[in-house]
Structure 1
Amino acid sequence: MNCPSCGANVSDGAKFCPKCGTRINAAGTPGGPAGRKQPPKPVPTKQPPKPAPQGKPPKQKKSKNGLIAVLVTVLVLALCACGGYVGYRLYQKLAGQTTMSRNEDREDKDWEEDEKPREKKNTEEETAEEETKAEETSAEETLPAQTTSAAPESTAYGEGAAATTAWNANESQTTAAWDINAAQTTAAWDINQAQTTAAWDINSASATADEYILPDSSTRYLTGTDIAGLTSEELRLARNEIYARHGRKFKDEALQAYFNSKSWYAGTIEPERFSDDALLNDVERKNLELIKAREAVLN
């Protein structure tokens, strides 16, 4: 059988447990000898805590109280600065309004002080004018009517009217004479201008005739009558004259020298770069055909 206290194996008939010394009754229940205390049961010992694994020490959380305190301080200072600025502006505004109201009161007061003497002066002037009018009225009533003095005044007025009439007559005559002279001068100027214009037109036409063989070959369709009297060389010059108007240069030295002598010519385009279709108009192309046909007849 087993010990009821410690569970050790106890032989049958044994009275005490060989291991813990507990008394074994016949029924197998524990019991102690008379006058002997039972030994205390062993208390299980606590195991020591396991050591923490070696490694990096745990990170300590940063304290946020300092940062919060700094932010609160900055916020309080900003609010104080804003409040001070607003208060300063209000103080300036109130001070300015007070100064303006004082100036307005002062101006009103000065205006009232200036206006009082003026009113008094105006009243005195009106009174003096009324007294003067009353004296003049009484004087006119007391003095007799002077009818004799009216005749000299009328005579003087008549002499003035006669002088005015004479001055007007002289002025009219002077104006008429001036108009006649001006008309004569204008007529003479018109005659001279007409003569000058006519002479200029004659000279211009002569100069144009000298400068061109066919002056209007680029603007008017020519007819057989226009070129009937031209020689073969003149027809050649007239034909190239159409090209020369557009600045075409010429390989023939004699032809180039001829057009260089003309005041209107300015050669800028080489012969191989000149395009009839791009630069010549329809009138010029038709006139070229007419001149070439005439040249073919003469040659």
Structure 2
Amino acid sequence: MICKKCGSEVAEDDVFCMQCGEKIERPQCPHCGAEVDEDTVFCSNCGEKIGQERCPYCGSELEEDRKFCVFCGAKTDGTEPTKPQITVPKPQTTTGQSNQPRYEKRPDTDTKGVWAIGAAIILAAIIAIACLGMGMDGTEDDDVAEDGYLTDELSDDDKDFAWLNEDFDDYLGNWVAYLDNGKPIYFKIWKDTGKYWFSMDASTSSRALYAETILDDIDEDIGIATGEIDDEYTYLYAWITFYDGDLTVSTDMLDKGLQYSLDFDALECQPWTATDEAALNEFIFPYSDFENLKKLDIEGLSKEELKIARNEIYARHGRMFQDKSLQAYFNSCSWYTPSIAPEDFKESMLNEVEIANRDLIVSYEKEMGYR
């Protein structure tokens, strides 16, 4: 932090400047009174907006609800704009009749210069009319694309995607993306009353993170859709690219109540079908391979349910079972692929989360007298 009087650096907990003795006035949130940093845009205590947003690419102040910086053209998340920003020159029209000044002939006037200027104006008008006629009939202007971009103004990379002519309706439905640890993030795109909607569901056993927004900017020519919501409870910005059946999602999400944020960059999605949903429902705990269970999660389960929950951790890896009833149960599950004999299975095949969840279930089974 800098002292406003003498410019010296001051520590975070200093009340007075050690150089000039000036009292350090720390900025406060006007809504809740909490101390905030000078460049803070949202209060970390109450979530209210308190500062002027700046372009992370060039540092210029951003106007309200701007998605692109008017100074450098970058997207407000600091990346260069994906869509080429091209200004198509408009042809200059000519008026039907020009008012030429009248000249009074005098003996000393140079009439050759006057006639030369007049001839040049007439020639320029003829050329402008000819060029305008070629552009209006659409037969000789092959370099102008359907969306108005001039092909000679686009880079080679832009030409590859500038006219995809995708139909966004083909991407309506449920989608899922899997993180590196196997955790699924669910997305949904639907249409209601003529508007396109997008939702994100990253719920876990400890948090329910859900947000939705209208996709108010959809460009089917370049395969990009964006939407943003910033209300009392949630902030969500979604950037979607779609092409040839493939969907990629980038999001910036903040739950203002929980003060919890999630940012994802270019998640490759795949359709989430009814078959996938049915397979998920075959698990007692679908995410026991990457989410730690709590005692509250397993309380109330029967002896048989606990047994299945404990062994589905192994079955997920393809382990087979000597217990015929267990083997028959997992054989009936669509997700199960038996591939490892019981004597060949190694404890090292389980990750730390799976081992912790197995031990929790075993401990509860002993507590209940089931083992």
Q: TM-score range by the shorter chain?
A: 0.3 to 0.5
Q: Which has the higher strand share?
A: 2
TM-score (norm 1): 0.38
TM-score (norm 2): 0.32
Structure of higher RCO (CA pairs closer than 8 Å, 6+ residues apart): 1
